[in-house]
Amino acid sequence: MSGPVERVDIGRASLYRGNALDVLTQIGAVDTILTDPVWPNCPTGLIAGSDDPPRLWQETMRVMRIPTRLVVVLRGDSDPRFLAPVPTALPFFRLIHLPYTIPAFVGRKLGRDEIAYWFGDPIRPARGRNLVPSRAPAAQPADTRTNGHPCSRALKHFDWLVEWTSDAGETILDPFMGSGTTGVAAMRLGRRFIGIEIDPKWFDLACRQIDAAERQGVLFDGTPTPVRSSRAKRAAAATASLPLTLL
């Protein structure tokens, strides 16, 4: 054990301050693990675990209970071979592009976009959810939460990921919770959430943000609204304007 574990319950969320490698052994299998782990190209010393991200990921895969699906978010220039320790019990399903409207320069590369790698089962088929998209809506740079965390993610992307990688009433686990963006999205979409964070500073921030989201209540029901084409919208408007004919 790496030290004592603190647990905080906030509505549908259970948050653990401690080492994910310890806490994961105490948690049963969940529906979806949705996480933005310590990237393989994370600068050393930036956040906890950045001294050896591949080893941390390998150990995480070793101790976790196999979920129904595992969704891992990495930067577009993160080496995908980092994901090799994912258990073979979780077959690759698809990747999803998480774009930003304005790119950033990373050496010779245009950066900022991220990729979500999905392993395991798809969500249940339903109206508007039969085909899983390959691209999330583009986020503005300002959508990345300016909360002090050096690796904060865009809430717009994680709202979308929670909606598409889990079904209503399911439980989402993020073993590298950071500032709590995954948990905030889970509260906004009515999911149950389990989060783990080792750094007390970021754990306290995540607790505050998830508490605020839980107090707001569910903002989305998690069921995508089918997009109607412009032609369909014009046809519907024209039909609505026709005079009624009495038979």
String of DSSP letters for 217-233 = -----S-PPPPPPHHHH
Predicted confidence (pLDDT) at residue 224 exceeds the cutoff of 60: no
Determine which of 6-10, 80-84, 155-159, 241-245 has the lowest per-residue pLDDT on average: 241-245
Predicted confidence (pLDDT) at residue 223 exceeds the cutoff of 60: no
> Cα–Cα distance between 205 and 178 in angstroms, integer?
8
Rounded to whole angstroms, the maximal C-alpha distance in the chain is: 79
pLDDT (0 to 100) of residue 111: 76
Count other C-beta atoms under 10 Å from residue 52's C-beta.
13
Determine which of 107-116, 125-134, 185-194, 231-240 has the lowest per-residue pLDDT on average: 231-240
Region 190-216: mean pLDDT is 96
Residue 68 resides in a domain: yes
pLDDT (0 to 100) of residue 221: 61
> Cα–Cα distance between 100 and 118 in angstroms, integer?
20
The total number of structural domains that make up the chain: 1
Determine which of 148-162, 177-191, 229-243 has the lowest per-residue pLDDT on average: 229-243
Transcribe 21-40 into DSSP letters: HHHGGGS---SEEEE----T
User: Nearest 5 degrees, angle CA 69-CA 70-CA 76?
Assistant: 140
Region 94-106: mean pLDDT is 90
pLDDT (0 to 100) of residue 246: 36
Chain-centroid distance of CA 39 in Å reads 15
Residue 98 resides in a domain: yes
Predicted confidence (pLDDT) at residue 245 exceeds the cutoff of 60: no
> Whole domain around residue 117: which residue ranges?
6-241
Model confidence pLDDT, tens digit, residues 16-67? 999 999 999 999 999 999 999 987 877 787 778 778 999 999 999 999 999 9
Residue 1 resides in a domain: no
Residue 117 resides in a domain: yes
CATH number of the domain at 43, please: 3.40.50.150
Predicted confidence (pLDDT) at residue 119 exceeds the cutoff of 60: yes
pLDDT (0 to 100) of residue 150: 64
Residue 207 resides in a domain: yes
Predicted confidence (pLDDT) at residue 88 exceeds the cutoff of 60: yes
The average confidence (pLDDT) of the chain is: 87
Region 220-229: mean pLDDT is 48
pLDDT band at 229 (very low <50, low <70, confident <90, very high): very low
pLDDT band at 145 (very low <50, low <70, confident <90, very high): low
Chain-centroid distance of CA 54 in Å reads 20
Structure token pair of residue 138 = 């583009």
Determine which of 25-34, 77-86, 110-119 has the lowest per-residue pLDDT on average: 110-119
Predicted confidence (pLDDT) at residue 228 exceeds the cutoff of 50: no
Predicted confidence (pLDDT) at residue 70 exceeds the cutoff of 80: yes
